[in-house]
Amino acid sequence: MAELNLTGVAKSYGAVDVLSDIDLEIEKGEFIVFVGPSGCGKSTLLRMIAGLEKITGGTLEIDGEVMNDVPPAQRGVAMVFQTYALYPHMTVRDNMAFALKIAGKPAAEIDAAVANAARILQLDSYLDRLPKALSGGQRQRVAIGRAIVRDPKVFLFDEPLSNLDAALRVATRIEIAQLNEKMPDTTMIYVTHDQVEAMTLASRIVVLAGGGIAQVGAPLELYERPRNEFVAQFIGSPAMNLFAGEIAGTGAETVIRLDAGGVARSTVPTRPEDEGRRVNIGVRPEDLEVTGGEGIYTGAVEIVEALGEVTLLYFETDCGEASVIAKLPGIHTGQRGRSVTLTAAPDKVHVFADGVSLLYRDA
């Protein structure tokens, strides 16, 4: 049985529908990450699970029980916010113990819970400090510790790292990944707009867009087999390039004649009736290669960004669309202004018709 079950969950504020028809099953111990553009409803969905926001349609079950009208404290969930909201006049120990004291738990039980959380979070030597004597990353760990002591079935995180500077964000991200390993039975749901966090932490990513779920899957599944153009361009950086064209050969290998003059081959299979169909092909910047022969795209290099391990080449397209970007391994300076032809291995060429990947059309 799923730990969390969302069936047709919806949220509207008056006449404004923010989310609708959210169907999602989450198994015990999973690490689920919600990603999506700003304002797409990530926090709203998390807050509905927490009970901080009323569900206006559908059903939320946790551990087999309908939770729609159950108050937050009785749902077995604990939430960690972007702002740590620690009590400034209380030590780390007292901050972590506070909720249990309020709940009237015996002192021995509280001490054991705090000691356990401190051990998991490596806060043992900071228990007598005040929050002002801690770094941002340590404060966020205390906030997580406050959630751990309550022994929740489900942990909810809303962009917990976005107030930290880059180096601390990386370190704390790794700690959160380890947290999940130390607490394998606790389900985690984590909201972020940071792709790297999503790709590295998630057992499954839920991509939210346009008020619904665009795709749910393991990180590399979304990267390798995006269901639609939105997911294709949302996951991966720089974003996947799209080229408009028409199917000119069908079968186990599909040939696409591109509007800009190039030709692409794809291992995405097509049927005879697809001949002539308008499609967009998608190729990730890292899958483009410079070729001497037939290619997907030929253009002059406008900008070169040498990052050391990789070089980004930018091409301006005639159609005034987004520029084409190629990411080549290693250092390639002196390419600026040069005309280059780009190609890709057929198994790296995605094909979208009406915005949806042809890989999924029967699924």
Q: Which of 271, 273, 268 lies closest to 253, judged by CA?
A: 268
> How many residues bind ligand ADP, per CB under 6 A?
10
Buried b (16+ CB within 10 A) or exposed e, 295-309: bbbbbebeebebeee
- Which residues lie closer than 8 Å to 363 by C-beta, 6 or more apart? none
44 interface partner picked from Mg ion, ligand ADP, none, CB below 5 to 8 A per type: ligand ADP
Asked whether position 360 contacts ligand ADP by CB under 6 A, the answer is no
Q: Are 296 and 342 in contact (CB under 8 A)?
A: yes
Tokens 């799209």 belong to residue: 242
DSSP, residue by residue, 282-314: EE-GGG-EEESSS-SEEEEEEEEEE-SSEEEEE
CB of 15 to ligand ADP, least distance (A): 10
Burial class (CB in 10 A: 0-12, 13-18, 19+), 351: buried
**Is 272 strand, coil or helix?**
helix
Instruction: List C-alpha distances in Å: 150 to 26, 78, 186, 269.
Output: 21, 7, 12, 52
CB of 194 to ligand ADP, least distance (A): 13
Q: Are 80 and 47 in contact (CB under 8 A)?
A: no
CB of 198 to Mg ion, least distance (A): 14
Residues that bind Mg ion (CB under 5 A): 43
> Which one, 47 or 139, has the nearer CB to Mg ion?
47
> Which one, 82 or 250, has the nearer CB to ligand ADP?
82
218 interface partner picked from ligand ADP, Mg ion, none, CB below 5 to 8 A per type: none
> Which one, 12 or 178, has the nearer CB to Mg ion?
12
CB of 199 to ligand ADP, least distance (A): 18
Residues in region 2-61 near ligand ADP by CB under 6 A: 13, 18, 36, 38-44
> Which one, 36 or 238, has the nearer CB to ligand ADP?
36
13 interface partner picked from ligand ADP, Mg ion, none, CB below 5 to 8 A per type: ligand ADP
> Which one, 36 or 217, has the nearer CB to ligand ADP?
36
Q: Give contact residues for ligand ADP (rule: CB under 6 A).
A: 13, 18, 36, 38-44
